[in-house]
Structure 1
Amino acid sequence: MTTQPVLVSHALCPYVQRAAIVLKEKGVPFIRRDIDLADKPDWFLDVSPLGKTPVLLVEDTPIFESAVICDYLDEVFAPRLHPEDPLQRARHRAWVEFGSAMLNAIAGFYSAPDEDGLQRAAAALRRRFVQLEAALDSAPYFAGGCFSIVDAAFGPVFRYFDVFDRIGNFGFLDGLSRVQAWRAALAARDSVKAAVSRDYEDLLAAFLMQRGSALSARMRASSATLREAMH
């Protein structure tokens, strides 16, 4: 490869974070180019048939969809992050898809229009985490001591809850010790920390506030309470 790959990104996109984490784990230098998904440039639409991030530009070839990008990187660059055994590799890919389903559930949570919907969405997320707890039988990562692409997929999942936990106590991880330990291990990983900008949490909080959702209303109420307490 004669030039550095370009990761076409959005500052809040969790799927971009997956690719950034894998690139960092493999020590691959890359250029990150953020775009505004609300005002997509023409060149982006030319390289992203689905109009979504991430896109990895390798020489003149665009690769889109985060799972495909991560699998490509795992085939080309060491160290391998997927298991060598085909059955275990398929299992890992399945749990990456489970991570995508969790991101959809997270979007349903922060977009819920009213309190009833918010509580239902919170309960649905809790059920997903209970499933994860049953699947985790080692530490500190999904496959024990080896960081894998499953871990790269779930680092961005857990990052949302750093902000959610500041808004209220929804009990997502109560009593789920293995999931809690996995979350902490991923949060401490250099590649996971480096996958977002320093102002990521502020950007995410601003995005959530603007949703006009039940969670947004909770955030506004919390802000008002804090301002009253300071006066």
Structure 2
Amino acid sequence: MSAEAAGAPALTLVSHALCPYVQRVAIVLHEKGLAFERRTIDLAHKPDWFLAISPLGKTPVLQVRGQSLFESAVICEYLDEVAMPMLHPQDPLQRARHRAWMEFGSTVLNTIGAFYAAPDEATLQARAQDLRSRFAQVEEALGPRSAPGPYFAGADFGMVDVVFGPVFRYFDVIDTLPGVDDLGLWQGLPRVLHWRAALAARASVQQAVRADYAEGLRVFLRARNSALSRRMEAVAV
């Protein structure tokens, strides 16, 4: 850890319990061993103090030295500059490539949102195919690789792993829902599944959410009035 980071006052991560972008920052903080407090808000009822520090009205916000940083990518870049271990590659070309795949991970999150919000079964099937196509692209990017290891870059855990830990976490719940196996999201994607398992086992990824995350996500999904929530309601009955 740098002297700058070591001498910094306590950090506060302003969070929403389910936000995958908050999880990114929490994972980086855990990876770097930085102590922080968590302040959780309800985004449906944003307090005035939060709107004063988050110009876009979104989480996460990291409060440090009396200043507030917003946007997860910016926060993660800041933390990588001030504290070890580095989570970006040293090589500029590889670092740029990893940043591109981080952006790809954000696109996958948007696709997940369209999937769980699909209003009917036909749209749900179509969005599932969109997801499957995205994961097939990730499968291609993962291999074959010269560097052995369970993570995106091989043996070294990095920022692309930070981004995809929260992506895969959705499916720890979604995969248990009725009929999801029939959608074929993971068929023929052994490298993706191996990566997913490695990230799920990583302590920083596990610690990025509260113990009640899975139940909170189930409640959130049931409330969507979507094809997926109707499947959940049918099983509950």
Same fold (TM over 0.5): yes
Q: Which residue identity does 2:74 align to in structure 1? A: V
Structure 2 residue aligned with 1:155: 165
Give me the whole-angstrom Cα distance separating, in 2, the residues matched to 1:67 and 1:222: 38
Give me the whole-angstrom Cα distance separating, in 1, the residues matched to 2:108 and 2:53: 27
1:201 paired to 2:214 = yes
Per-residue CA deviations over 1:27-85 (Å, capped at 9, x if unaligned) read 00001110010111111111100000000111111111111111100000000000011
Per-residue CA deviations over 1:82-138 (Å, capped at 9, x if unaligned) read 001111111111100000000000000000000011000000000000000000024
Aligned-pair identity (%): 63
Deviation at 1:144, TM superposition (A): 0.4
1:140 paired to 2:153 = no
Q: Which residue identity does 1:100 align to in structure 2? A: S
Local SS of the residue matching 1:112: coil
Q: Which residue identity does 1:187 align to in structure 2? A: A
Deviation at 1:2, TM superposition (A): 3.6
- RMSD over aligned Cα atoms: 0.8
Q: Equivalent of 1:82, from 73, 85, 88?
A: 88
Give me the whole-angstrom Cα distance separating, in 2, the residues matched to 1:163 and 1:2: 37
Per-residue CA deviations over 1:170-227 (Å, capped at 9, x if unaligned) read 2111110000000000000000000001110000000000000000001111222xxx
Local SS of the residue matching 2:62: strand
- Give TM-score, length-normalised by structure 1: 0.95
Count of aligned pairs between the two proteins: 224
Q: Which residue identity does 1:120 align to in structure 2? A: A
Structure 2 residue aligned with 1:228: none
Q: Which residue identity does 1:164 align to in structure 2? A: I
Q: Equivalent of 1:27, from 29, 33, 48?
A: 33
Deviation at 1:3, TM superposition (A): 1.3
Q: Equivalent of 2:184, from 162, 166, 171?
A: 171
Mean Cα displacement is larger for which, 25-34 or 162-171? 162-171
- Give TM-score, length-normalised by structure 2: 0.93
Gaps of 5+ in 2: 1-6
